[in-house]
């Protein structure tokens, strides 16, 4: 019969040989060890004896039920080979997503592979601290971006207002120019016609004096 301390050492050696970090857990009814494999956390519970007044099978089923609330990626129970005939059916372990490590002849053998659990969360304090730091950094960047967005929105609103005023002024100037141009052209046409008539009153003049500004003066004296 294996003592609890002996089984605990065998399990530690099993995971350490696979280059995983092992941490002892005290005072948890569903955990004895936490094993870290990269960023994955594996929970391990030693079931080397039954609880007083409870059958071994009922005790295992109770452990499986408690394991459902653990925030681990995988979960194993460790059972000495002598207790294997007393375990629940394989379907029970599959439904609970729990694997089984057997203690056999001073070795640990994986009898039921633990499937990955759907709920993935880390119970390692270092991971929690890392997530907290990342969260604070994201919140800080988000606040800065929000301020920039508010500032840009204010500038855009101001520019739109200025654009509206400029468009109105441009339209007003164009309309005023269109109203003035016909009168100016008409006025210029009248001046030219008047000059032609007055110059014609002088009679025949040599071609080299046509267009001379003194013609207008002479025509007024003649009249």
DSSP summary character for residue 108: E
Give the residue-averaged pLDDT of 78-107.
92
Q: Domain-by-domain residue ranges, the chain?
A: 4-112
| Other C-beta atoms lying within 10 Å of the C-beta of residue 74 | 19
Give 41-74 pLDDT, tens digit per residue. 999 999 988 777 788 899 999 999 888 888 899 9
Give the Cα-Cα-Cα angle 104, 109, 111 (nearest 5 degrees): 110
pLDDT of 211 > 70? The answer is: no
Q: What is the mean pLDDT of residues 93-106?
A: 92
What would the pLDDT profile of 168-196 be if each residue is shown by its tens digit? Answer: 888 888 887 787 766 555 555 555 444 44
Residue 103: pLDDT above 70?
Answer: yes
Q: What percent of the chain has pLDDT over 70?
A: 75
Report the distance separating Cα 41 and Cα 77, nearest Å: 14
Strands (E), the chain: 21-24, 33-37, 40-46, 74-80, 99-104, 107-112
Q: Which fold has domain 4-112?
A: Trna Endonuclease; Chain: A, domain 1 (3.40.1350)
CA 32/CA 44 separation, integer angstroms: 6
Percent of the chain with pLDDT over 90: 32
pLDDT of residue 117: 83
| 198 close to 216: Cβ distance less than 8 angstroms | yes
């Amino acid at each position: 019969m294996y003592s609890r301390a002996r089984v605990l050492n065998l399990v530690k050696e099993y995971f350490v040989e696979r280059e995983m970090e092992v941490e002892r857990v005290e005072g948890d009814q569903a955990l004895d060890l936490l094993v870290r494999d990269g960023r994955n956390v594996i929970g391990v519970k030693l079931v080397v004896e039954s609880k007083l007044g409870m059958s071994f099978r009922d005790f295992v089923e109770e452990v499986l039920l408690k394991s459902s609330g653990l925030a681990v990626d995988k979960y194993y129970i460790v059972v000495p080979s002598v207790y294997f005939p007393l375990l629940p059916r394989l379907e029970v372990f599959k439904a609970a997503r729990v694997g089984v490590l057997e203690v056999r002849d001073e070795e640990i053998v994986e009898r039921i592979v633990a499937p990955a659990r759907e709920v993935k969360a880390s119970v390692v304090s270092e991971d929690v601290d890392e997530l907290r730091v990342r969260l604070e950094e994201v919140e800080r960047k988000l606040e800065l971006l929000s301020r920039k967005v508010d500032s840009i929105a204010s500038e855009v609103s101001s520019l739109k207002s200025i654009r509206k005023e400029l468009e109105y002024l441009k339209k007003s100037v164009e309309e005023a120019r269109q109203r003035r141009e016909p009168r100016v052209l008409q006025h210029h046409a009248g001046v030219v016609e008047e000059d032609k008539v007055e110059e014609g009153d002088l009679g025949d003049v040599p071609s080299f004096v046509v267009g001379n500004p003194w013609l207008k003066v002479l025509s007024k004296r003649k009249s």
